[in-house]
């Protein structure tokens, strides 16, 4: 009899989850678990919570949804709190498991979690499954991935790679094993969400994708993607992708169906193109690993000095620069910000305020409900000129950006605090 532990990480779904499917096939008894590590969610070195309330809410909703789905198939999700290595190995000992299966995450902290687990003499089997393309289909080795995105994309297109097919959904889950609870206690997570526009979990993800396609929004994506306000100017897939509530392959496969039904257009191509950026930042991790997490990134110039007072102005939306202040208010109020404004506020912090890029990247990590380790690190390095940008960094002119994207001031009026007025969330009114 084989007993396995399945450790859910950033793959909180049952559809297109090859690692979980494999665990279900290999096990006679299966213990699905999730671990909340309070230490990892504690304060950053910059003095704020690493996982602020919006991210917390979205995560908890996603976990609850997964639990409901597992229960509907006769299984369950056991949620523990504690240091990952201690908790996962205790759980595997409690059920006498022969191995732990999980998704592979190729970022330093996540690699270290698995390394520590392996040192506690439990076998850990990891499965790479978070990209749209299968790494072994790529027409080059990881070491030879082109540094420049355009060259990467051209090679992928020349090889005719679009996406890897999603695997069939899990239909049968082995029973959960009996286990001794005195050693380890599960916790109850209460997801009291105040997020109006984004509901965590695989169920909401599938509904969101369906309505996005049913309403033919891909057709206008290319024209609207740099706008700032509303739910429809961009896909808003990112929160669900970040926790793996849906896979990039599922989205790409649905886009492919969409193209067969309605024809391919600029919009469908650009959505795929953006998902390819997501893959690119993932695959760069296989090439550069921890170098991407040095304070210099891939460059050799040290970060600027950290100024606490300036940082508080930037985070709190008190710089005196309207577009920046409005954007930073939107970010802390909703946990989401358009791609264009992410670029502009990042540039403003790095090039206008001359701040340490690492503190600002950590602020994004804390606030964003779509925080994704690869995309956040990759984009910050890119803008800061410490990644693979052939232009050596991206400085945006705020006056020009304001004129191009908010010439009538609508966005700034929506988010700037007026004296005596509370800031309404734009998305609340949708
Ligand atoms: P759409 O425009 O609809 O794009 C579709 C999908 O393509 C997105 O869901 C996303 O998965 C992918 N994508 C789009 N743009 C990018 C990009 N530049 N890099 C990587 N993938 C992309 N994205 C995150 O998911 N998590 C992050 O933590 C994150 N941090 C960022 C930090 C900075 C400084 C910047 C400039 C960008 C960051 N992004 C991050 C990328 C991008 O801003 C978001 O993916 C996008 O705004 C999400 O909204 P959407 O789903 O509507 O995107």
Whether the Cβ atoms of residue 22 and residue 31 lie closer than 8 Å to each other? no
Q: Rounded mean pLDDT of the chain?
A: 93
Q: Are residues 7 and 99 in the same domain?
A: yes
Q: Are residues 287 and 351 in the same domain?
A: no
Per-residue pLDDT band for 194 (boundaries 50, 70, 90) equals: low
* CA proximity to 5, closest of 179, 185, 187: 179
Q: Are residues 279 and 327 in the same domain?
A: no
Q: Is pLDDT at 15 greater than 60 in this prediction?
A: yes
Q: Whose CA is nearest to atom 49 of ligand 1?
A: 236
Q: How far is the CA of 33 from the centre of ligand 1 (A)?
A: 28
Residue at which a domain ends, from 261, 291, 321: 291
Q: How far is the CA of 319 from the centre of ligand 1 (A)?
A: 25
Q: Are residues 57 and 125 in the same domain?
A: yes
292-307 confidence digits (pLDDT tens): 999 999 999 888 989 9
Residue at which a domain ends, from 291, 316, 332: 291
* Residue 145 included in any domain: no
Distance CA 182, CA 124 (A): 24
Burial of 286 from C-beta contacts in 10 A (0-12 / 13-18 / 19+): middle
All residues at 6 or more sequence positions from 389 whose CB lies less than 8 Å from its CB, including other chains: 382, 383
The answer to whether the CB of 277 is under 6 A from ligand 1 is yes
Per-residue pLDDT band for 191 (boundaries 50, 70, 90) equals: low
Contacts by residues 306-312 (CB-CB < 8 Å, ≥ 24 positions apart) = 306/46, 306/355, 306/356, 306/359, 307/353, 307/355, 308/47, 310/353, 310/355, 311/46, 311/355, 311/359, 311/360
* CA proximity to 344, closest of 323, 358, 319: 323
Q: Whose CA is nearest to atom 30 of ligand 1?
A: 376
Q: Best mutation site among 334, 375, 384, 401 for ligand 1, i.e. most ligand atoms within 8 A of its Cβ?
A: 375
386-401 confidence digits (pLDDT tens): 999 888 888 999 999 9
**Domains of the chain: total:** 3
Q: What CATH number does residue 39 fall under?
A: 3.40.50.620
* Residue 159 included in any domain: no
The answer to whether the CB of 375 is under 6 A from ligand 1 is yes
Q: Are residues 124 and 208 in the same domain?
A: no
Q: What CATH number does residue 285 fall under?
A: 1.25.40.80
Q: Are residues 123 and 240 in the same domain?
A: no
Per-residue pLDDT band for 184 (boundaries 50, 70, 90) equals: confident
The answer to whether the CB of 343 is under 6 A from ligand 1 is yes
Q: Are residues 371 and 396 in the same domain?
A: yes
Residue at which a domain ends, from 129, 154, 169: 129
For a pLDDT cut of 90, what percent of the chain falls above it? Answer: 85
Q: Are residues 10 and 125 in the same domain?
A: yes
Q: Best mutation site among 51, 54, 278, 340 for ligand 1, i.e. most ligand atoms within 8 A of its Cβ?
A: 278
* Residue 138 included in any domain: no
Could you tell me the residue range of the domain that residue 397 belongs to? 308-424
* Residue 391 included in any domain: yes
Please indicate whether residue 187 or residue 268 has the higher confidence score (pLDDT).
268
pLDDT of residue 371: 98
Q: Are residues 10 and 119 in the same domain?
A: yes
The answer to whether the CB of 107 is under 6 A from ligand 1 is no
All residues at 6 or more sequence positions from 388 whose CB lies less than 8 Å from its CB, including other chains: 147, 148, 149, 284, 298, 381, 382
The answer to whether the CB of 227 is under 6 A from ligand 1 is no
Distance CA 322, CA 416 (A): 7
* Residue 168 included in any domain: no
Q: Give the phi and the psi of residue 191 in degrees, each rounded to 5.
A: -100, 95
What are the distances in angstroms from CA 324 to CA 210, 343, 352, 364?
33, 11, 11, 14
79-102 confidence digits (pLDDT tens): 999 999 999 999 999 999 999 999
For residue 274, the ligand 1 atom closest to its alpha carbon is 7
Distance CA 143, CA 131 (A): 17
Q: Whose CA is nearest to atom 36 of ligand 1?
A: 343
For residue 371, the ligand 1 atom closest to its alpha carbon is 28
Q: Is pLDDT at 317 greater than 50 in this prediction?
A: yes
The answer to whether the CB of 314 is under 6 A from ligand 1 is no
SS3 for 103?
strand
* CA proximity to 347, closest of 370, 378, 325, 380: 380
pLDDT of residue 120: 80
Assigned token pair, 398: 């705020």
Q: Are residues 350 and 393 in the same domain?
A: yes
Q: How far is the CA of 227 from the centre of ligand 1 (A)?
A: 14
Q: Are residues 279 and 382 in the same domain?
A: no
Q: How far is the CA of 191 from the centre of ligand 1 (A)?
A: 25
Q: Whose CA is nearest to atom 13 of ligand 1?
A: 274
| Chain-centroid distance, C-alpha 100 | 23
Q: What CATH number does residue 367 fall under?
A: 1.10.579.10
């Amino acid at each position: 009899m084989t007993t396995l532990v399945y450790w859910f990480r950033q793959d909180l779904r049952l559809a297109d989850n090859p690692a979980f499917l494999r665990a279900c096939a290999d096990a006679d008894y299966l213990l699905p678990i999730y671990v909340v590590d309070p230490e990892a969610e504690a304060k950053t070195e910059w003095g704020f919570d690493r996982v602020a309330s919006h991210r917390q809410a979205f995560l908890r909703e996603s976990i609850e949804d997964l639990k409901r789905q597992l229960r509907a198939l006769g299984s369950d999700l056991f949620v523990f709190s504690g240091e990952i290595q201690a908790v996962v190995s205790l759980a595997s000992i409690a059920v006498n498991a022969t191995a732990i299966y999980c998704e592979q995450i190729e970022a330093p902290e996540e690699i270290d979690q698995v390394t520590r687990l392996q040192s506690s003499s439990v076998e850990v089997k990891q499965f790479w499954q978070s990209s749209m393309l299968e790494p072994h289909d790529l027409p080059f080795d990881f070491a030879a991935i082109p540094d420049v995105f355009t060259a990467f994309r051209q090679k992928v297109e020349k090889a005719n790679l679009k996406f890897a097919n999603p695997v069939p959904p899990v239909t049968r889950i082995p029973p959960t094993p009996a286990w001794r609870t005195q050693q380890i206690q599960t916790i109850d997570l209460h997801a009291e969400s105040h997020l109006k526009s984004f509901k965590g979990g695989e169920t909401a993800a599938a509904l969101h994708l369906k309505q996005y396609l049913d309403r033919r929004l891909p057709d206008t994506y290319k024209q609207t993607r740099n706008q700032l306000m509303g739910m429809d100017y961009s896909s808003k897939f990112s929160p669900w992708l970040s926790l793996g509530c849906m896979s990039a392959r599922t989205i790409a496969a649905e886009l492919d169906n969409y193209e067969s039904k309605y024809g391919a257009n600029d919009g469908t191509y650009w959505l795929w193109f953006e998902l390819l950026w997501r893959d690119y930042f993932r695959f760069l991790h296989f090439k550069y690993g921890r170098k991407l997490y040095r304070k210099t990134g891939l460059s050799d110039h040290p970060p600027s000095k950290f100024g606490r007072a300036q940082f508080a102005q930037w985070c709190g939306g008190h710089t005196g620069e309207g577009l920046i202040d409005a954007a930073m208010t939107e970010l802390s109020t909703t946990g989401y910000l358009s791609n264009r404004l992410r670029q502009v506020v990042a540039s403003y912090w790095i090039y206008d305020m001359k701040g340490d890029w690492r503190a600002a990247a950590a602020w994004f990590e804390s606030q964003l409900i779509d925080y994704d380790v690869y995309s956040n690190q990759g984009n910050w390095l890119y803008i800061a000129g410490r990644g693979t940008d052939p232009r050596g960094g991206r400085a945006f002119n705020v006056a020009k950006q304001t004129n191009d994207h908010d010439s009538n001031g609508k966005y700034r009026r929506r988010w700037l605090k007026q004296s005596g007025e509370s800031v309404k969330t734009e998305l609340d009114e949708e």
